[in-house]
Amino acid sequence: MPAPSNPEPLSIVEVQRRVDRELDRLAPLLDGLGALFADAGHELHLVGGPVRDAMLGRSHTDLDFTTSAPPEVTERLLKRWGDALWDMGRDFGTIGARRGDWMVEVTTYRSETYDPASRNPVVAYGDTLAGDLGRRDFTVNAMAVSVPGRGFEDPYGGIVDLAHQVLRTPGRPEDSFGDDPLRMLRAARFAAQLGFTVAPEVVAAMTAMAERITIISAERVRDELVKLICAPYPRLGLTLLVDTGLAALVLPELPALQLERDEHHRHKDVYEHTLTVLEQAIDLEPRLSADGGPDFVSRFAALMHDVGKPRTRRLLDDGTVTFHHHDVVGAKLTTKRMKALRFSNDEIAAVSQLVELHLRFHGYGSGEWTDSAVRRYVRDAGDQLARLHVLTRADCTTRNQRKADRLRRTYDDLEARIERLSEEEELASLRPDLDGNQIMEILGVGPGREVGEAYRFLLELRLDRGPLDEDAAREALLAWWAERPST
């Protein structure tokens, strides 16, 4: 989805109307929970994302609150109120609970600071709502609604910034990012999620303080990047990371795509091409699921598919630029980066496989592939075939409409052939025509290396010739066995 351009400021009156509608919807929960804390002598305020999103006309069932109550009091009150309780965030003053379909997290007023050499925040509890709001990341997240009573608290002008769709920090951005450097990544993430611009002084602080992001743990960086990439407008966030120098520290493969362009523009701007491929992959996500929701693996593969180009770029004597084997090199770089960011092995394998296979279709020509080649394409893609379809289609960014139409029709043909062969041969569960027990019986051998070699031979035979009946497979196996060199 392309980023919004020149958004119209929101009317303050309309913002307030939206909030009133959302608070009316939440009243059955807010009034009872607020009264519970008030009866115990404590304040409770709806805060952060739910307040911001109410102003944007978005509804929540997961709600965040801040309170004057210490965590042990919050826990006691929520035990009486909820159907279930959890305290994984106790070290940060947060207690969570569920009641029906509602999920709430209640956090004691607090402040966070970082030791310059620490990767984790030091939490100190506060005693005022204003102090709690002042330590939050952006003014649009530093608004609160008191419950019960619906008193609106906005000490830092968040409603004005939200109306003008701008991200600004409650205080000096240098102080905010000094306390928690991860907020620099959050600025990019919220830009990507909300389509907002980032205030110039915030961008300047991000640029000046980019190096400080290195004290943040890989896991926290990873989580912000995932949220950014899965947001509606990831180009906004990624561009901000590149322009401020943060990407060079957390995802250096992305700015490395800004290759020096030759004066005759004989090759594409790989960086801009990559962002376009990402947006086109997002447009194709309905092919992956019924709800068309964000698919991180598909999006990250689109972002990383050409990261091997800087390492493989060669300028030939005739001025031609080549990137031979950038698919294989890119897959290795992707694996290395995702490991550094502590992604799961399954995610690393899936994304790296897509990067390595993203050029395979271009050997299809105008449909010259044999059925054997189509089977191998399906076999190599495995459970990533649907995502490979998306990535390959998204990778066409040519402005030549005739060429684009030809590529689309050619890939339509490949998908049709895959579907036909799948119906005829069950390609999704491609196996040899004989199993291990049959192989041992026919060859008269026990379990061991020979059975594995025979199994691989039969699988290649299946890919080359399609399904065989048992007699034909038996005959081929015995012929292979007879010709096999003795060891």
Same domain assignment for residues 51 and 125 = yes
Same domain assignment for residues 212 and 273 = no
HEC secondary structure over 439-465: HHHHHCCCCCHHHHHHHHHHHHHHHHH
Give yes or no for a contact between 159 and 150, defined as CB atoms under 8 angstroms apart: no
Rounded to 10 degrees, what is the CA torsion of 156, 159, 165, 166?
0
Give yes or no for a contact between 113 and 124, defined as CB atoms under 8 angstroms apart: yes
Q: 293: closest CA among 306, 284, 305? A: 284
Q: What is the DSSP letter of 142?
A: S
Q: What is the mean pLDDT of residues 68-87?
A: 94
**Structure-block tokens of residue 329:** 């090199």
Q: Where a domain ends, among 212, 246, 280?
A: 246
Q: Where a domain ends, among 147, 167, 187?
A: 167
Same domain assignment for residues 230 and 290 = no
Q: What is the CATH number of the domain that holds 304?
A: 1.10.3210
Q: What's the structural domain count of the chain?
A: 4
Per-position DSSP letters for 248-260, written without gaps between them:
HHH-TTTGGG-PP
Same domain assignment for residues 295 and 195 = no
Q: Where a domain ends, among 139, 167, 195?
A: 167
Give yes or no for a contact between 34 and 144, defined as CB atoms under 8 angstroms apart: no
Distance of CA 477 to the CA centre of its chain: 46
Same domain assignment for residues 260 and 365 = yes
Q: What is the CATH number of the domain that holds 142?
A: 3.30.460.10
Angle at 201 between CA 196 and CA 207, to 5 degrees: 95
Same domain assignment for residues 320 and 274 = yes
Q: What is the mean pLDDT of residues 275-286?
A: 96
Residue 293 — very low, low, confident or very high, per pLDDT cuts 50/70/90?
A: confident
Provide the residue range defining the domain that includes 97.
1-167
**Structure-block tokens of residue 12:** 């303050």
Cα–Cα distance measured from residue 121 to residue 131, given in angstroms and rounded to the nearest whole number:
17
Same domain assignment for residues 154 and 176 = no
- pLDDT tens-digit map of 248-276: 999 999 999 987 554 444 455 899 999 99
- Which helix (H) or strand (E) is 65 found in, with range? strand 62-67
Please tell me the pTM assigned to this model: 0.84
Same domain assignment for residues 345 and 392 = yes
Same domain assignment for residues 266 and 377 = yes
Same domain assignment for residues 14 and 163 = yes
152-156, 311-315, 483-487: least confident range: 483-487
Give yes or no for a contact between 233 and 192, defined as CB atoms under 8 angstroms apart: yes
CA 180, 182, 185, 191 torsion-angle sign: negative
Same domain assignment for residues 287 and 189 = no
Q: What is the CATH number of the domain that holds 208?
A: 1.10.110.30
- pLDDT tens-digit map of 390-411: 999 999 988 889 989 988 999 9
Q: 173: closest CA among 212, 203, 193? A: 203
124-130 long-range CB contacts below 8 Å, 24 or more apart? 125/70, 125/93, 127/68, 129/43, 129/45, 129/66, 129/68, 129/153, 130/155
pLDDT at 10 over 80: no
Same domain assignment for residues 197 and 150 = no
